[in-house]
Structure formats: structure tokens, C-alpha cells
Amino acid sequence: MFDLTPDPIAFRLGPLDIHWYGIAYAVGLAAVYILVTRLAERRGLQAELVGNGMLLVAAAALAGGRLYHVIDQWQLYASDPLKIVLPPYSGLGVYGGIITGTLAAFLYIRRHRQNFWVWADVVAPGLFLMQAIGRWGNFFNQELYGPPTNLPWGIPIDCAHRIDAYPCTTFPLETTRFQPLFLYESLSGVIGMLVLIYVGERAFRWLRSGDLLFLFFIWYGVVRFSLETLRLNNWTFFGIPTAQLVSFAFIVVGVTGLIVRRRLGGGDERGEAVTGETSEQPARPASGSGPAPLPDESA
């Protein structure tokens, strides 16, 4: 068990507080840049597009994630709406970030006349990696936790950071530990990233471009839907946690995408049928030498 609750502030530069939350997301973005660049190079794509693309997608994801979080936790901002835009920022909603980030990525890729689905497969493992690292910002902010637990990896939560259902008068700080939901999502992200990279390399001939993104939607949707059963006081829609509804929608999109793209017909396993175009593709090199380059084409 952890003996102390974490300090959200990593260090101070004069009057400026540098928060662990921001550091976690900065480290996550740097790691994603390295991973996506290398995967793009292995696919024969224009890796130089990654840098500018990430800046655009990150900005869109931050805006969408912040909006989702504010709606989800409106009770924290109702009395002081300026906290929505003034630092320090205490949270981001993953689903909001995924939606706006994906839209920004689609527009960016289309602008550069690249195949969106091919790039989606390259970016999908990076989404898991971002989750794996970024979720540790929730640990330092003492958020994204579940009910009290006796499990050895339970974490303490300061009285000031608890929801009303778990007051310190009933659940003493010294003896109460909570389910670390942030940790479960982080571990899921690590495993998901490794699985997508492995599948993308080993099952290349049986995949259509875009499959890895749809697998990400299904994986993350299932994990988030399950973890939401352990959370209280969340944004609900007709009594159902909104995050679970969005999770279900992600699962449906993922499953539907995998099915529909196989029924469009006419193209090879990498999904050229989706564009209505045909192109000659070189055979994939032998295992260990990396996948064959893919030509640039509009989606």
C-alpha cells in the first residue's frame, strides 16, 4: 500500500507550478511521436507528417477532452465557470479527446492526400500508449478511483479529493484504500499497444487498413464500460452513465467497421476497395524485414 497521497505539483518555477498531470501528458505525447514515427517508416509512409499532425491532433484532443470533462464534472465548475479555462487544469475526458482528435486527424490526412485508414493503423497503437502514460496524471491528481478495497495495490485518497459517497468520517484516511482505476486503464493501454503492434506485424496479410483502429475502439470500449461500473457520481443520461453509453457506441462502431469493410468487396486485404481505387502493391517482405511500403493515396 502507498503510505502517502501524492502531491499534484512536481516542482515550481518562480510563481509557476508545474503539475505532474501536465508532465504525464507531455511525456505521453513524446513517446507517441517516437512510436508513430517508427511505425510510419516501417509502412513506407511520409513520417515527416507526424510532427505537425500531432500538434494539430493534440490541440483538438485537448479541447475535446476538456469539454467532455467539464460536462462530466459540471458540479466542480458550476459555481466558478472561469476554472474551465484558467490553469491549473484538473482533468480531461478521454472520449472527448478521441472524438475531436480523430476528426482533426482525418482532416489533416485528407489535406495531405494520404490514405486515412492506413494512417489509422499506424496511430492506433499510439492511442494506447498515450493512455498508458497519461493516466498517471490522474494518480497525482487523486482522481479516477473506484470504491474502497482491501487489495494490496489500493491507493489512499485525501479527504479533499473524495466524492461525497466516501467521507473521511466513515472511511478514515489512515486505513482506507481505493481501487486504482487509472492503473487498470494504464495497464490495459500497455497490453493493448503490444497486441496491436504484434497483430499489425504478424497478421498483416489478413488485415484491411483501418482494422487496428476498429480493434482499439472495441478494446477501449469494453475496458471503459467495465470500469465505469466501479465509479459513482458520473455524468448520466436517463440514469445510465454517459461514459458507458459512449463505450457501447465505440464497441458498435468497431465491430461494424470490421464487418462492413470486409463486405465492401473488390479490393485486397489492405482495404483499397474502400477508396474505389486499384493499385499494384509489392509483396510484403519476409518476416523480420518489415512490411512493404504502401503508396500514398487519398482515402
**Residue-wise pLDDT tens digits, 168-181:** 999 999 999 999 99
pLDDT at 235: 73
pLDDT tens for residues 185-204?
999 999 999 999 999 988 87
pLDDT tens for residues 227-265?
999 988 777 778 788 889 999 999 999 999 999 887 774
pLDDT at 267 over 70: no
pTM over 0.85: no
pLDDT at 292 over 60: no
Nearest to 94 by CA among 67, 117, 126, 121: 67
Mean pLDDT of 94-114: 89
Please indicate whether residue 236 or residue 269 has the higher confidence score (pLDDT): 236
Mean pLDDT of 283-296: 43
pLDDT at 295: 41
**What residue type is 200 in one-letter code?**
G
Question: If you average pLDDT over every residue of the chain, what do you get?
Answer: 83
Q: What are the residue boundaries of the structural domains of the chain, listed by start?
A: 15-145+180-274
pLDDT at 276: 36
Q: How many CB atoms lie within 10 A of CB 117?
A: 23
pLDDT at 89 over 90: no
- How would residue 88 be classed by pLDDT, with cut points 50, 70 and 90? low
pLDDT tens for residues 145-170?
999 999 999 999 999 889 889 999 99
- How would residue 266 be classed by pLDDT, with cut points 50, 70 and 90? very low
